[in-house]
Amino acid sequence: MKPKPSSKERDAAIQSIRTAMVEKKLTQAELADAADCHEKTIQNLLHGKPVREQTLFDVAMVLGLDYQRLKESWFGSMSTSQPMELKGEGGVVAPVYMGAYTRAAVDHYIGSYLTVRPAFAKQDAIVAYRTDIVWDPEWPSLLFEERERPDAPFSHRGRLYVPASSMYIHLVSLTKGAMRMVLVSQIDQTGEMRGLITTLNKQRAMFVPVSSPIVYLKRQEFKSLALGEITPKHPEYNIYKAYLETALDEGYARLVGP
């Protein structure tokens, strides 16, 4: 069970949501549409009524709020009563099905990454955004969260699976039944991970499977980095394109066609 947060904590969470809605000039109906939920759900949220954690995450992504802080204020601190086989050992060892890795063994993954991949909808465009990786002691494992994506409602949040006998790791997210997997090389001495992303992309009236190279570049600051949709006219375009070409040219991933 999750302990109930104080009314003061939940009121603060509601106020942060309302403030962000005003700043982004979003109505309840517009927020519901962007977060892919019913307007009644947003009304419940704004009145402090129970909502699903996924709904809170989707709303945070749309409004650009810190999901972890919002969740802690809304739900209160997580309980430590999960089964050991799922929870891991003592808050410092991931569950066996995730690789049974220790926090000490993966500390070097913790940080923020410039994430670069081709745009799925526009030819020749590149998408760049931020991905944060942290350690989650309540469900011991590395947790990733995407930020500052140009298509914020589709931002993903998930966990890292680190096989002991592989040179690659998995960033897996499960959102409303849809699973997305990123398979990249383990982080190297320069703070880079390279590989493939496999997900769904909306093509006209339907979603279709897509796969492309993706690169994660560990960075200390993001103020000087170009984020969003990067077109060939952008001064950073060739630099980002070179990162993606290197992932394929150096054998970190291979796209097989007919």
115 and 216 Cβ atoms separated by less than 8 Å: yes
Convert the pLDDT of each residue in 80-123 to its tens digit. 444 444 444 556 888 888 999 999 999 999 999 999 999 998 88
Output the pTM of the full model: 0.69
Separation CA 127–CA 152 (nearest Å) = 12
Choose among 240, 11, 4: nearest CA to 129: 240
Q: Give the model confidence (pLDDT) of 28-85 as tens digits.
A: 998 888 887 889 999 999 999 988 888 888 888 888 888 878 888 887 754 344 444 4
Domains annotated on the chain, with CATH: 7-75 (1.10.260.40), 86-249 (2.40.128.120)
Nearest to 183 by CA among 126, 253, 136: 253
186-190 contact pairs (CB < 8 A, 24+): 186/162, 187/108, 187/109, 187/216, 187/218
**Residues 28 and 39 sit within 8 Å (Cβ to Cβ):** yes
* CB-based contact 135:233 (threshold 8 Å): no
> What tens digit of pLDDT does each residue of 135-175 get?
988 788 999 999 999 988 888 889 999 998 899 999 998 76
Report which DSSP code applies to 154: G
E strands within the chain? 111-118, 126-136, 141-147, 157-161, 168-175, 178-185, 192-203, 206-219, 228-230
